[in-house]
Structure 1
Amino acid sequence: MTMKISLIILSAMMAGLCGCSTMYYGAMEKFGVHKRDILMDRVKDARDSQDEAKTQFLSAMDQFKSVVNFTGGDLEKEYNRLNDALQSSEARATAVRDRIKAVEDVSQALFKEWRAEIKQYSSDALRNASQRKHDQTVDKYDDLLRAMKNAESKLEPVLVSMRDQVLFLKHNLNARAIAGLSSELASVQGNVDSLIRDMDTAIQQADQFIATLKDE
């Protein structure tokens, strides 16, 4: 690897660590990695993080059901397992939020650059063609972001329900407390089901958007 490439990579890494998106994108551009490439990668990351979160929340729901159906044994152990499921779910939710923010960041930079470049055309035909392509891509991106944001909005209601259950069980490690949790099962299940449906929609939208970028 040449010294020049090494310096470019180092600059990109430092820019990313410093949170300066403009510097990061500029450094990556010099390395031949364009904003469109970064957007595609980040959409894939967002899609994958939602898929992982979906798996985690389904697992957490199974854990919650096992506690509600508790028939005997170590209640503290059951609490610890449920708390671990909550912590893992919190981490997956944070990853989803971070990935969506990363997608928004690069998309704003990409579309801003695209709009500026459209103005540089001297050919009306090419300018109009680029504008149409821009508008089509933005429309599809808006559908994607709307789906991801909708799924993201369902994360907190599920987490709130799970936090309540874990907190209640923490201070009430007895069979009566377990019986009390069972009344909340349907509500928690409904929140999780809604979250999973919206995540599936967002994942499908991500796949469609990625296919759009590949075709261009």
Structure 2
Amino acid sequence: MRHKNTIVLAFVLAAAFTMSGCQSAYYKTMESFGYHKRDILVSNVEKARESQEEASEQFKSALDKFSALTGFHGGDLQETYERLNDEYEASEAAAADVRKRIDAVEQVGEDLFDEWNTELDQYTSRKLRNESRVKLSKTKSKFKRLLSAMRKAEKKIDPVLNVFRDQVLYLKHNLNAQAIASLKSELTTLEADIGRLIKEMQRSIDEADAFIKELKKN
């Protein structure tokens, strides 16, 4: 129980430092509890992967609601609009979480590699220094590939949100058959955009799995 409470305390204190914008204090606090930048990076990559998985499911759910609306044949359009707006807002929140998680991955990754590179000068053994330099280079290369996949997936989010936003706004002031017809005309584009988004997110998730596996192995 004490170990569990210690972990909770570490993350509470670290979160406080993060919100205050003091990154160095955050790292020092985490290190005092035995969590170094490598551990934090693994944790952040795991959270980014989870946020992308959740976002993928949310966008699928929103697409289902939009698709269902195109088959609307009567009932309470106001209630339908509110459900659709809820899906849009949930999708926007999921997208914001994805962006935040990717930013956190990038920040800790850069800080870890800066620290690692600086520490190379502290070696007295040339052999160990060279081995560490090679390992650093390989890890940075894998991280660059991971971050590229994450950012590529992130870029696919806005086109989907833009269509969601436009349709929800239009429906808000046009609760009629014309608005439903407008949704139908956008559905094919929306399905294609979400398909591409989910595909890129899965590639990013796969890269995250590979990177975590590699980092834990070393």
**TM-score grouping bracket, smaller chain normalisation:** over 0.9
**Counterpart in 2 of 1:153?**
155
Are residues 1:122 and 2:124 paired? Answer: yes
Superposed CA deviations along residues 11-40 of structure 1, whole A, max 9, x for unmatched, are 534312312111100111121111100000
Deviation at 1:52, TM superposition (A): 0.1
**Counterpart in 2 of 1:173?**
175
Identity of aligned residues (%): 49
Gapped regions of structure 2 (runs ≥ 5): none
Query: In structure 2, what is the Cα distance between the partners aligned to 1:13 and 1:179?
Result: 47
Structure 1 counterpart SS, 2:122: coil
Deviation at 1:120, TM superposition (A): 1.1
* Residue among 69, 72, 84 paired with 2:71: 69
**Counterpart in 1 of 2:25?**
23
Query: In structure 1, what is the Cα distance between the partners aligned to 2:108 and 2:145?
Result: 16
**Bigger CA drift: 34-43 or 177-186?**
177-186
Query: In structure 2, what is the Cα distance between the partners aligned to 1:31 and 1:115?
Result: 23
* Residue among 103, 109, 112 paired with 1:110: 112
Contact 2:44 2:105 in 1 (8 A): yes
Aligned alpha-carbon RMSD (Å): 1.6
**Counterpart in 2 of 1:12?**
14
Deviation at 1:181, TM superposition (A): 1.6
Deviation at 1:176, TM superposition (A): 2.2
AA of the residue aligned to 2:112: L
Check 1:12–1:178 CA distance in 2 against 1; reply closer, same or farther (3 A cut).
Answer: closer
Query: In structure 1, what is the Cα distance between the partners aligned to 2:47 and 2:174?
Result: 40
* Residue among 53, 56, 79 paired with 2:58: 56
Deviation at 1:190, TM superposition (A): 1.0
Gapped regions of structure 1 (runs ≥ 5): none
Superposed CA deviations along residues 89-121 of structure 1, whole A, max 9, x for unmatched, are 000000000001111111111101000111111
Check 1:132–1:94 CA distance in 2 against 1; reply closer, same or farther (3 A cut).
Answer: same
**Counterpart in 2 of 1:86?**
88
* TM-score computed with the length of structure 2 as normaliser: 0.93
Length, aligned pairs only: 213
Are residues 1:208 and 2:190 paired? Answer: no
* TM-score computed with the length of structure 1 as normaliser: 0.94
**Counterpart in 1 of 2:186?**
184
Query: In structure 2, what is the Cα distance between the partners aligned to 1:32 and 1:180?
Result: 56
**Bigger CA drift: 178-187 or 138-147?**
178-187
Check 1:13–1:175 CA distance in 2 against 1; reply closer, same or farther (3 A cut).
Answer: closer
Query: In structure 1, what is the Cα distance between the partners aligned to 2:94 and 2:141?
Result: 28
**Counterpart in 2 of 1:162?**
164
Deviation at 1:43, TM superposition (A): 0.2
